[in-house]
Amino acid sequence: MAVPQSTVYMDPAQRHQIQSAFKALNRFMVLMWRLGLGRFINIAPRYAGQIMVLVHTGRKSGLKRRTPVNYAIVDGVVYCTAGFGPVSDWYRNLKVHPEIELWLPDSRWQALASEVMDPALRLTLVRQVLIGSGFAAYLAGINPHTMSDEALAQATADYPVLRLDRRSRLDESADLAWVWLPIAGIAGLVWLGCNSVRRRRV
């Protein structure tokens, strides 16, 4: 989850602790998406935030990376922000390899990433993304509903805002969804076994 954290509000030690905690949470989030449970992760967007997964290419390794981030859709276009600033690995990867995949709750897309540079537009968009982040913005001490433009601009000065233009729709099947079949089979065998034991006792 892309939890917005401004350098205005925390020291480096706090920043590192929060980043470490959310790296662990991110791994869980990605697993849920790969199991086909992305829609359930987004069941309460007002509180938990709107979450999608970016599939991007490592700028050094060339390997595929998956990162969950908060987002907003404005006039049909998907936007997100790097809440940990320009040092965020996924943001740096997108700068080198802007061709990405978007895993939205209801669809998957090939997309092209570009940074929003216009200051006025950027502030409007970062507010929308933070509103879409649920509790994450409040964790950073930011209330995107009531904070003035001036205060919000100061608090998010180091937040890059990314525009993600969807190009073509992808197959939406989750790559780990197959695990539910053996799980269902095992559950069925356990149920049959329990029923068999009960019948013998009767």
Q: Which fold has domain 12-171?
A: Pnp Oxidase; Chain A (2.30.110)
Average pLDDT over residues 150-179: 86
What pLDDT does residue 11 have? 61
Domain ranges for the chain, please list them.
Answer: 12-171, 174-202
**Quick check: 90 and 69 in contact, CB under 8 A?**
yes
Which pLDDT band holds residue 2 (cuts at 50, 70, 90)? very low
| Pick from 77-81, 116-120, 185-189: least confident | 185-189
H or E stretch at 96 = helix 89-96
> Whole-number mean pLDDT of the chain?
82
CA distances (Å), origin 191, targets 12, 142, 195, 197: 52, 49, 6, 10
Q: Provide the pLDDT confidence category of residue 16 given band limits of 50, 70 and 90.
A: low
d(CA 138, CA 92): 25
Residues in the chain: 202
Q: Among 123, 4, 25, 13, which residue's Cα sits nearest to residue 74?
A: 123
The pLDDT-based confidence of 37 (bands split at 50, 70, 90) is confident
Quick check: 168 pLDDT over 50?
yes
Does residue 56 register a pLDDT over 80? yes
pLDDT > 60? residue 75: yes
